């Protein structure tokens, strides 16, 4: 407790001041990061639950700052949004992911149909640049639009639902597929499914983690899979860490999965090795 006076309390709160300072430092370090080549993508395999084949990858952004060390996207993506840098970084992510996917599809016969998923944040979805930068990434890389999956979270849709709907429609018109990420964690998930047309439903890890060994499928997971399938969507479970979860999801007709059980997000060459191995089988 502190005696307030007329000044705002934050000014005297050392914890708050440190947080503001840290956010400023993060933004400062982020400014030159793209030009300095400090970003890279890692790729987490997506596997079918029925036969555990790799059908594609999700590109996940990594940043190693020379001064701060590795910083996770949960921390730097919001900072990049606040600093007005997310469009530029997002455009780089799209070009890099599309170029990589196009090369893998060309070089590996077994990967001719593989997909690449890219995350798009709320601020990116709100930006007038997004559709153009995705179209440019597809054109430059030669990746067929149908091979690209754009992942949006429900929270990205709530701010300006009309704009979001128009943007998603424009993206689908390009021929790519849309995934609703972290499904079930947002506010009024069911309403979103009705309002926005998507192709893939990604069941959030927090639901998958409730699947305990020797117990039946939790009703929420079962309900989500059934709902997605009834709507004709591909249903993908995130954060699958245990064999019993994969088995139960497969029995429940969930299409595909990602998670540490199958593979962690992999460096580019390691991800490519996974493709090679699969061709050899
Ligand atoms: P997300 O899209 O929900 O990504 C899934 C996160 O779960 C990733 O964390 C991934 O490394 C992690 N993960 C995957 N499998 C497992 C598992 O079996 N167990 C556990 N505990 N975790 C698992 P990551 O890479 O730290 O990314 C965090 C979030 O940052 C992402 O959540 C996404 O929202 C955002 N993000 C990542 N890359 C990008 C990007 O290029 N652009 C934008 N806008 N956001 C990004
Ligand atoms: Ca995602
Ligand atoms: Ca997710
Ligand atoms: Ca998430």
Mean pLDDT of 195-205: 94
Distance (angstroms) between ligand 4 centre and the Cα of 182 equals 6
pLDDT at 4 over 60: no
Measure the CA–CA gap between 271 and 277, rounded to whole angstroms: 10
Give residues with Cβ within 8 angstroms of 196, minimum separation 6.
157, 164, 165, 168, 178, 180
pLDDT at res. 13: 78
pLDDT at 200 over 80: yes
Distance (angstroms) between ligand 2 centre and the Cα of 212 equals 24
pLDDT at res. 148: 98
* Residues near ligand 1 (Cβ within 6 A): 44, 60-61, 72-74, 77, 90, 93, 119-121, 124, 181-182, 205, 239-241, 258-260, 265
- The DSSP element (H or E) to which 130 belongs, if any, is helix 130-141
**Closest protein CA for atom 3 of ligand 1:** 182
ipTM of the complex: 0.98
Check if the beta carbon of residue 267 is closer than 8 Å to that of residue 96.
Answer: no
pLDDT at res. 109: 85
pLDDT at 11 over 60: no
**Residues in a beta bridge with 69:** 65
């Amino acid at each position: 407790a502190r005696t307030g006076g007329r000044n705002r309390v934050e000014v005297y709160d050392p914890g708050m001041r440190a947080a503001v300072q840290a956010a400023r430092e993060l933004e400062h370090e982020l400014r030159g990061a793209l030009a300095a080549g400090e970003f890279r993508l890692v790729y987490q395999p997506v596997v079918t639950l029925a036969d555990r084949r790799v059908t594609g990858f999700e590109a996940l952004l990594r940043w190693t700052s020379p001064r701060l060390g590795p910083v996770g996207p949960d921390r730097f993506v919001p900072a990049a949004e606040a600093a007005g840098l997310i469009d530029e970084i997002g455009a780089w992510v799209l070009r890099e992911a599309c170029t990589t996917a196009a090369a893998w599809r060309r070089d590996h016969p077994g990967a001719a149909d593989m997909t690449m998923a890219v995350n798009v944040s709320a601020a990116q979805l709100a930006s007038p640049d997004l559709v153009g930068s995705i179209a440019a990434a597809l054109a430059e890389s030669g990746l067929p639009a149908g091979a690209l999956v754009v992942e949006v979270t429900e929270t990205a849709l709530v701010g300006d639902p009309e704009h979001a709907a128009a943007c998603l429609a424009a993206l689908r018109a390009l021929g790519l597929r849309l995934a609703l990420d972290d499904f079930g964690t947002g506010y009024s998930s069911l309403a979103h499914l009705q309002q926005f047309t998507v192709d893939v439903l990604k069941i959030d890890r927090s639901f998958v983690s409730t699947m305990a060994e020797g117990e039946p499928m939790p009703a929420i997971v079962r309900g989500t899979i059934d709902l997605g399938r009834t709507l004709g969507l591909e249903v993908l479970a995130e954060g699958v860490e245990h064999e019993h979860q994969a088995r139960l999801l497969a029995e429940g007709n969930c299409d595909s999965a990602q998670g540490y059980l199958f593979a962690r997000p992999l460096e580019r060459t390691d991800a490519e090795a996974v493709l090679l191995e699969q061709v050899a089988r």
